[in-house]
Structure 1
Amino acid sequence: MANDFETIKKNANSFILEIHKFIRENFEVSIGDQKKYLDSVTKDSVKTGQAKLGSFIISISDVLLDSTIMIVYTFLFLIYKEHFKLFFAKLIKQENHAVLQDILSQIKVSINNYIVSLIIEMIVVSILTGLGLWIIDVKYFILLGLITGILNLIPYIGIFIAGVITVLASLTGSGEISVILGILIVNIIVQFIDNNLLVPLIINTKVEINAFVSIMGIIVGGAAAGIAGMFLAIPLLAILKIIFDRIDSLSAWGYLMGNHVPRKFVWRKRKITTEN
C-alpha cells in the first residue's frame, strides 16, 4: 500500500470528482460552489481541529498506556496466580474450600472457552470478509480480510478502523464509487452475520451468557474503562456468573445472566415455577 501511494492519491481525487459530479447532476450545485463551501468549512475545521489535536494525541497516548498496563497486569497476575489461590483459601472457611476449588476450575474452563471462541470468530469473520472482497475484486483481499478479523475483536471501533483501511486499499485498484459501496455492503453483511449468528452461537454459548447481559456489560465496560473495559466485559461477566451460580443467595442473578429461556411461566402463590 505504501508503494501504491501515488495510485491511491490519484484514485482518491477521481473518487472525489465523481462525488462532485453526482451532486451537480442531482442537486444542481456547481462544482465551483461546492469547492467554495468546502473551503469555508475547512477553514472552520482547521481552527477547531488545532484545538482538538492536543486532546486527540492525549487520547491516543492514554489508549497506548492502558494497553501497556494491561499487559503488565496480566503478566503479574500469571506470576502470582498461586499466591492469589492461597489468599482465597485463607479468606474462605475450610468447609467452603471445595466450592472455591470448583469455582476456580470452572473459571479456568470458561476463560479458555472464551479465548477459543474469539479465535473461531476471528477466523470466520476473516474468511467471510476476504471472500466478499474477492467477489467485488478488491486488491489484497486476503490481507484485508485477516486485518478485519483481528480488528473485529475490538468492539464497535475495530470494524470502523478495518473499513477505513479497506477503503484506502481499494483505491490502489480504482476509485469507482461502486467499489466503495461494495466494501460498505460487505462489512455490513459480515457484521450482521457476526452479531446475529456468530456471537450468539459461538461466544455466548461458550461462556453461557445471554445476549442482553453481554450488550449491557460491553456498554458499561466501555463507559468505565474504554476499549479495555469493552474487551474484558464478557470474560468478567462469565466469572461473575460462575460465582453467582455456586452461592445460594446469589443464584438468582446467575440464572438471570444465563441462556435459560423457558417457554412458559406459571405463577403461583408464594412460588414461581417454569414449564418447558
Structure 2
Amino acid sequence: MANDFDTIKKNANSFIIEIHKFIRENFQVSIGDQKKYLDSVTKDSVKTGQAKLGSFIISVSDVLLDSMIIIVYTFLFLIYKEHFKLFLAKLIKKENHPALMDILSQIKVSINNYIVSLIIEMIVVAVLTSLGLWIIGIKYFILLGLITGILNLIPYIGITIAGIITVLASLTGSGEISVILGILIVNIIVQFIDNNLLVPLIINSKVEINAFVSIMGIIVGGAAAGISGMFLAIPLLAILKIIFDRIESLEPWGYLMGNHVPRKFAWRVRRTKTQE
C-alpha cells in the first residue's frame, strides 16, 4: 500500500470527482457551487477537524495501549496462577476446598472454550470478508480478510479500523463509487452475521451467558476500563456465573445470567416442532 500511494491518491481524486458529478446530475448543483460550499464549510471546521483528529489519534493510541495491557494481564495471570490458587485456599475453610477445586476446574474449561470460540469467530469472519472482497474484485482480499478477522476481536472500534484499511487498499485498484459501496455492504453483511449468528451460537453458547447479560457486561466493562474492559467482560461474566451456580445463596443470579430456556417455553417449542 505504501508503494501504491500515488495510485491511491489518484484514485481518491477520481472518487471525489465522481461524487461531484453524481451530485450535479441528480441534485442540479454545479461543481463550482459544490467547491464553494465545501470551502466555506472547511474554513469554519478547521479547528473542529484538528480537535477531532487529535481525539482520533488519542483513541487509536488508547486502543493499542489497552491491547498491550490485555497481553500483560494474561501473562501475569499465567505466572501467578498457583499463587492465586493458594491464596484462595487460605481464604476459604478446608471443608469447602472440594467446592473451590470444582469452581477452579470449571473456570479453566470455560475460559478455554471462550478462547477457542474467539478463534473460530475470527476465522469465520476472516473467511467471509475475504470471500466478499474477492467477489467484488478487491486487491489483497486474503490479507484484508485476515486483518478484519483479527481486528474484529476489538469491540466496535476494530471493525471501523479494518474498514478504513480496506477502503484505502481498494484505492490501489480503482476509485469507483461502486467498489467503495461494495466494501461497505460486505462489512455490514459480515457484521450482521457475526453479531446475530456467530456470537450467540459460538461464543455465548460456549460460556453459557445470555445475550442481554453479555451486552450489559460489555457496556459496563467499556465504561470502567475502556477497550480492555470490553474485551475481558465476557470471560469475567463466565467466571462469575460459575461461582454463582455453585453457591446456594447466589444460585438465582447464576440462573439469571445463563441462557436457560424456561420449561413452559421449551415445552411449547417442542410441541410446535412435533406438530410440524
TM-score, normalised via structure 2 length: 0.91
Q: 1:245 to 1:85 in 2, by over 3 A?
A: same
Q: Deviations over 1:190-214 (max 9, x none)?
A: 1111111111111111111111111
1-structure distance, mates of 2:153, 2:244: 27
User: Does the CA-based 8 Å contact 2:66-2:227 persist in structure 1?
Assistant: no
Q: 1:110 to 1:201 in 2, by over 3 A?
A: same
The AA in structure 2 aligned to 1:161 is I
The AA in structure 1 aligned to 2:162 is A
Match of 2:190 in 1: 190
- Kindly state the Cα deviation for residue 66 of structure 1 after the two structures are TM-superposed: 3.4
The AA in structure 2 aligned to 1:120 is I
Q: Deviations over 1:109-154 (max 9, x none)?
A: 1001000000001001111110011111111110011111111111
2-structure distance, mates of 1:242, 1:222: 22
Q: 1:180 to 1:223 in 2, by over 3 A?
A: same
Higher helix proportion, which one? 2
- Kindly state the Cα deviation for residue 155 of structure 1 after the two structures are TM-superposed: 1.0
Match of 1:46 in 2: 46
Aligned length: 268
- Kindly state the Cα deviation for residue 44 of structure 1 after the two structures are TM-superposed: 2.3
Match of 2:163 in 1: 163
**Superposition pairs of residues 185-264 of structure 1, within 5 angstroms:** 185-264=185-264
Q: Deviations over 1:80-128 (max 9, x none)?
A: 1111101100101111111110111111110010000000010011111
Match of 1:24 in 2: 24
The AA in structure 1 aligned to 2:48 is T
Instruction: Tell me how large the CA RMSD over aligned residues is.
Output: 1.9
Q: Deviations over 1:143-182 (max 9, x none)?
A: 0111111111111111111111111111111111111111
Unaligned runs of 5+ residues in structure 2 are 271-276
2-structure distance, mates of 1:195, 1:62: 24
% same residue:
91
Greater RCO structure (CA 8 Å; 6+ sep): 2
2-structure distance, mates of 1:140, 1:64: 24
1-structure distance, mates of 2:124, 2:63: 27
1-structure distance, mates of 2:263, 2:188: 32
Unaligned runs of 5+ residues in structure 1 are 266-274
Match of 1:97 in 2: 97
**Superposition pairs of residues 121-160 of structure 1, within 5 angstroms:** 121-160=121-160
Q: 1:238 to 1:155 in 2, by over 3 A?
A: same
Match of 1:15 in 2: 15
**Secondary structure, counterpart of 2:45 in structure 1:** helix
Match of 1:109 in 2: 109
List 4+ stretches of structure 1 deviating above 6 A.
none
TM-score, normalised via structure 1 length: 0.91
2-structure distance, mates of 1:50, 1:130: 34
Q: Deviations over 1:45-84 (max 9, x none)?
A: 2222334555554444444443333333332222111111
Q: 1:123 to 1:15 in 2, by over 3 A?
A: same
1-structure distance, mates of 2:156, 2:52: 22
The AA in structure 1 aligned to 2:228 is A
The AA in structure 2 aligned to 1:128 is L
Match of 2:78 in 1: 78
User: Does the CA-based 8 Å contact 2:69-2:228 persist in structure 1?
Assistant: no
The AA in structure 1 aligned to 2:251 is S
Give yes or no for the alignment of 1:2 onto 2:2.
yes
